[in-house]
Amino acid sequence: MSEQQANNPLHGMTLEMVVTALVEHYGWEELGMLININCFNNDPSVKSSLKFLRKTPWARTKVENLYIAMLDENARANKTAWPYSNNPNE
């Protein structure tokens, strides 16, 4: 694994995993307030969100950035040294 990928918190994460983690953490209502896009506000589902995000790079970037911010927030709350583990058991 290259050094660049070792420091990438999205490495190994599918878009579905990212969206699901955000929904579990924030819920659809808060997620729709944080990123105001219809797929989060009107009859939200993971499937419809994935379809939209795969076609819309600016929205996908916002979702990925929110996911990274959530990891940082969780790391600060848990006082973990390395927040970018893709394994929730670490």
The whole-model pTM stands at 0.79
Q: pLDDT (tens digit, 9 = 90+) per residue, 70-80?
A: 998 887 787 65
Cβ atoms within 10 Å of 65's Cβ, excluding its own: 11
CB atoms within 10 A of CB 42: 9
The C-alpha atoms of residue 49 and residue 62 are separated, in whole angstroms, by: 13
Per-domain boundaries in the chain: 13-78
Give the domain 13-78 fold: 1.10.720
Q: What does residue 72 show for φ and ψ, rounded to 5 degrees?
A: -60, -45
> Under DSSP, is residue 58 helix (H, G, I), strand (E, B) or coil?
helix
Q: What is the pLDDT of residues 9-50, one digit of tens each?
A: 888 899 999 999 999 999 999 999 999 999 999 999 999 999
